[in-house]
Structures are given as structure tokens and as C-alpha cells.
Chain A
Amino acid sequence: MSRTFHGRAVTPGAARAEALVSHGGFNTLASYQMALMFGDKQVKCGDQNNPDLYKKPMIGKALCLPETIGSTTGGMVLYTACAMGKQPACMLFSKPIDPLAASGAILAANWTQAKMPVVDSLGEEFLAYVKDGMTLSVAEDGTVTVE
């Protein structure tokens, strides 16, 4: 049985992908730096402080997270991942989006051809419900369906 959550589309778009869930803050620089720098095709998460994601492939996933944390290169890193076609299929935030993630999403939307819908404010229940491997669909209006 599917379940639906409603959020706000920060950068609207549609996507369907497999969930990858981080329950702690997602450190964008720590997660992406090694994968981007050395051309990891699977874009495996390099953040040893994130037990949910460490060493798991992130490319093309529906990245579910509370918020991003860490370095203010975060937005630039997301932009670069998008420009290189190595972005997640979408980013789904349980909390209101933070400035670094918003920057990355907006830079990607305005300055690259990449499609990476970003939805925020999905609520704590969303992050408690969704599990790695579940299939998620994102609609333009910020509705997320867990199939």
C-alpha cells in the first residue's frame, strides 16, 4: 500500500527513484568530495561520520534527509555534482531546507541542465517511515509517494 507525504517544492520537478535515507544531518562536502574528485561513477558517500550512508552509492537515488550540515562549500559541491550529471534523482528533506542545500538546488536549477527536484518540509514522520530501497515518486507540486 502506498503512502503519500506533502512538502514544498523548492525546485520543482518529477522523479521516481529508490530511497537512500540519512537520519542524521547530511554533510555535503564530506559525502561528495572524494567521489567527485576521483571520478567514482557510483558516487559512494565518503562521510565516515554518517553510518547510514558511508560507502553507499548516491547517484540516481532519492536522497532522504533531515537537512545538510557542515562546510559552506556544500551548495557549490551540489552544483558541481549536478553539472557533472552525478546528482541524486531528487533530494527530500524532512525539515525546512537549509541555506546550503537551497543554494545547491537553486544554482543547479539556474546554471545547469540537470534535473534534481528538491522538496522540503516533509515532516519527521516521512523520515521515520521511509527506508533504503523503497521506491519513491515525486510530483511537481512537492507530493512524495512511497510506493
Chain B
Amino acid sequence: MNLTKEQQAMLDGQHGATMAKVVKTLVMYGEAFGAQRMVPVTSKYGHTVISFGIGVMKPVYELYDELLRAGAKSMQPFSADPRPLDKNVPSSLLQDIVFHFMYSQQAHYEQQLRGLGLMDEDAYTCACYLPEAGNVPKRGEVLSWAESSAVVYANSVLGARCNRNSGIIEMMGSIAGFVPEFGLLTDDGRRADWVVEVRTSKLPDAQLLGSAVGMKVLEKVPYVRGLDKWLGTQLNDAACAYLKDFGAACASNGSVGLYHIENLTPEAVDEGSALVRENAPVYVVDDAELQRVKDSYPCIWKDLDAKPKLCFMGCPHMTLHQLQEWTMKVETALREAGNSRVVIPTVFTSAPGVIRAFNQTEYAARLKATGVILSYICPLMYMNNPLSKKMPVITSSNKLRTYTSARFYSDDEILEKITKGGN
């Protein structure tokens, strides 16, 4: 790899042994992918996937202590994934005791994040790119982010450039201020390897379509045709919310870091089919294919007929538009069922900044009246508690389904269950 004089000096130890190791790590990372050079991180803000102070992750906190002792600090203030605990989310006394021991490093780790350059105390969300969260990169900017759902959104919907970096590596790129140039940072790496033809009878469930695409193309870049018929050609609130959930499912059920939606996402609008590589294979998604994918999901509940004890919506965190839309949906469905409050304890999760904005609207009181709890928590972190794992929890998040025992239902099914009941 060709390094600048300054980069070489860092590698040679002129900025200390720890910074030399940071640069060596980034050089090896680049060399694994044939990178020829480092490029500057140009975004105003970074984002880290590691937001949790789990006691057992001690080696990570020791590594960060080493960085801090060496005077390391991110060159961009950064946001972080959601906090793992919120007292507003229902839990038993026993669960709380386990949470206390599980996240014993939380205060220490948050102190480390402040030292490394956290944006502010509200900067904890996986959907940092939402306007209310305040970390919205511009098209073409180079990022050193980690969080699969945020990276795929930044690349695809915003047109920024970021590889699917791992936690820790993203912090090292932010500290150094440069990242190796390969993959999704290059024009060629952003071309589409697959064509996905959507031929469904209605707008497909974003979480289900994303899952199907992720499982099919894995780490490749898909170019999706047929969605503009349903989503339109403007990146409005509804389309962005849909693409957030679609991307998160692509990234967790496979490892997609970038997708193009014909006539909708920026690079697809500019370049159209020219983005697609020659002889790219085609994956046709119709109603039957989506049903096949949904039916393939394992459920590890001991009692498959158990009555759900909790419902999580918002992995990734919900947008302001989604919170408003779901408030209306829940109200309508409750009226139809003759109920006044949800019949399964239900938690909607969103970014602190979005919650603040939502609380300034008339919808906040209306949602509260339905019994739905609004929280900034990371549902995945809640579900990591072994006592949570044993609970029958339902969700329409394919990401949450993938990593936990939560059972997946479509948005329509979830609405039915939380307002009308039934197993």
C-alpha cells in the first residue's frame, strides 16, 4: 500500500506505539482487499456500533483504555448504537438483576465514549442518519462507520461511501482520520452484481423483501427493479422509512452494504441500468417467494402456541413518520376490535432526538393512550438477557428475529396481535 509521508511516520511509531498499531491494523485491513492507498474520512460525524457495556466484553474496553491512555480521540465526533437499558421497558425483578450484572461496564464504557469523542448524551441510536438524530452524511462523503443497518442506509439512500467496517476498526479509522480505499469506497465496488425483479401483487413487506434479498445475494450489491411502482420516485418520508427497514433486513439476513433501487436511490437515478454488471444474475421475487422465505424462519420458542408477552417494533429505530403512522394504525385497529389499549405489552423504539420531536406533536399523547411504550432502548440488547430469551416476544424486525428468540410476524400480523390478541 502506498502511504503518505505522514501515514508512514505514524506507522513507524513517530506518534507513539499505540498509534503505530492502529495504523498497522488499518494497513493490514486494506491489504486484505488490495487497497492501494488510504483516503481521508470526510464526513462531519462518525458512528460506532458498540454502545453496550457488557461485562464479558472486557477485552474491548481494555483496548479502548489503551487507546485513551495514548491520547487517541476520534477526528470526527460520533454517534453510537442505542443504549441497552431503559426502565420504561417492562421487565421482571429477576430480569433487572441479570441486566445489572450483564451491563456492569455500561457507565465505564460511556465514559470511554465521551473521551473518544461522542457527539452528545443523546447520540445513542442505530438510526443516526435520521434528520432528528443529526448525523446525516452527504452524498460522496467517505465514512468510517460501523452498524450494518446504518452503513447500508448511508451508502444506498444517502449516497455516502462506507465499507461494512467492524466495530473497533471503525473507531480506528476515525482516530487515524483515514481508511483504506477498497470495496464500496470505489466506483467499481458500487456497481450491481445482481438484479432483483419485484413482481408482487402489492408493496412487499420491507423486512421480508430485505430478508429474501439478503439471503440470496449475501455480500453482493443488488439492483432492485419494480419497487418504484409502489414507492414512487421520490425519497419522501414513507420511502425512506421503507428503505431503512429493507436495508436492515438485507444487511442482517445477508451482508449487503449497498443496494440500488431503480428510479429512486441517488446512484440508480443518475446511472440507471448502467450500474449493473454484465451478465448479472436475476432474482425474481413474487408473493410465493416471499411466503417461502417467511415459512423458512425457525422459531425457537419452547411452546409455539405461547401467548406473546412482549412486542418490539423499531429495530432499527423508527422514524418520526413511522411513529405517527403507527399511532394512527394502532388507534384504528383498537377501535375496530373494541379495545382501548393494546392487549400485548408493546414497545416502539426510536432515537432520542426523534422521540423528542415526536413528543412535541399531538401524536405523543394519542400513542400513550393506546398503552404503547416509547423507548430509546436497543431491543436486541434487551433480548440478550437469558430470561428475555425464554419469553415469547414478537416483532416485525427481521434483524431482531435473526439475533434473538423473538418471533417474526409481518407488520399487518403484528398490528392484529397487539390490538386484537391471539397467539
A residues within 8 Å of B by Cβ?
10, 25, 27, 29-30, 33-34, 36-39, 48-49, 67-76, 79-80, 83-84, 97-100, 102-104, 106-107, 109-112
Bound form: Cα–Cα A84–B63 in Å: 13
A interface, over-half SS:
helix
Asked if A72 and B298 sit within 8 Å, CB to CB, the answer is: no
Complex: chain A residue closest to B50, CB-CB: A76
- Residues in B with CB closer than 8 Å to A99 are 29, 33, 163-166, 183
Known contacts A99-B163, A112-B59; is A71 also within 8 Å of B252 by CB?
A: yes
Asked if A98 and B168 sit within 8 Å, CB to CB, the answer is: no
Bound form: Cα–Cα A27–B386 in Å: 19
- Residues in B with CB closer than 8 Å to A110 are 21, 24-25, 28
Known contacts A80-B60, A98-B255; is A75 also within 8 Å of B28 by CB?
A: no
Name 9 interchain pairs, CB-CB below 8 A, sorted by A.
Answer: A34-B386, A34-B389, A71-B252, A73-B50, A73-B167, A74-B166, A100-B255, A106-B25, A110-B21
Chain B: interface size category: 35 or more
Asked if A69 and B56 sit within 8 Å, CB to CB, the answer is: no
* A-B pair number, CB within 8 angstroms: 129
Expressed in whole angstroms, the minimum distance between the Cβ of B352 and any Cβ of chain A is 21
Q: Which of B32, B63, B297 has the most CB of A within 10 A?
A: B32
Asked if A84 and B102 sit within 8 Å, CB to CB, the answer is: no
- Residues in A with CB closer than 8 Å to B163 are 99
Asked if A79 and B255 sit within 8 Å, CB to CB, the answer is: no
The segment from B144-152, B224-232, B366-374, B415-423 that touches chain A is B144-152
Does B300 make an interface contact (CB < 8 A)? yes
B351-377 CB contacts (< 8 Å) to partner A? none
Known contacts A72-B146, A98-B255, A99-B183; is A107 also within 8 Å of B386 by CB?
A: no
Asked if A72 and B147 sit within 8 Å, CB to CB, the answer is: yes
Q: Which of B54, B59, B384, B405 contacts A83 (CB 8 A)?
A: B59
Asked if B403 and A69 sit within 8 Å, CB to CB, the answer is: no
Does B169 make an interface contact (CB < 8 A)? yes
Complex: chain A residue closest to B219, CB-CB: A98
Asked if B300 and A37 sit within 8 Å, CB to CB, the answer is: no
B161-203 CB contacts (< 8 Å) to partner A? 163-170, 183
Expressed in whole angstroms, the minimum distance between the Cβ of A142 and any Cβ of chain B is 13
Asked if B384 and A33 sit within 8 Å, CB to CB, the answer is: yes
Does B57 make an interface contact (CB < 8 A)? yes
Q: Which of A37, A70, A103 has the most CB of B within 10 A?
A: A103
Expressed in whole angstroms, the minimum distance between the Cβ of B130 and any Cβ of chain A is 18
- Residues in A with CB closer than 8 Å to B386 are 34, 38
B52-80 CB contacts (< 8 Å) to partner A? 54, 56-57, 59-60, 63
Asked if A107 and B403 sit within 8 Å, CB to CB, the answer is: no
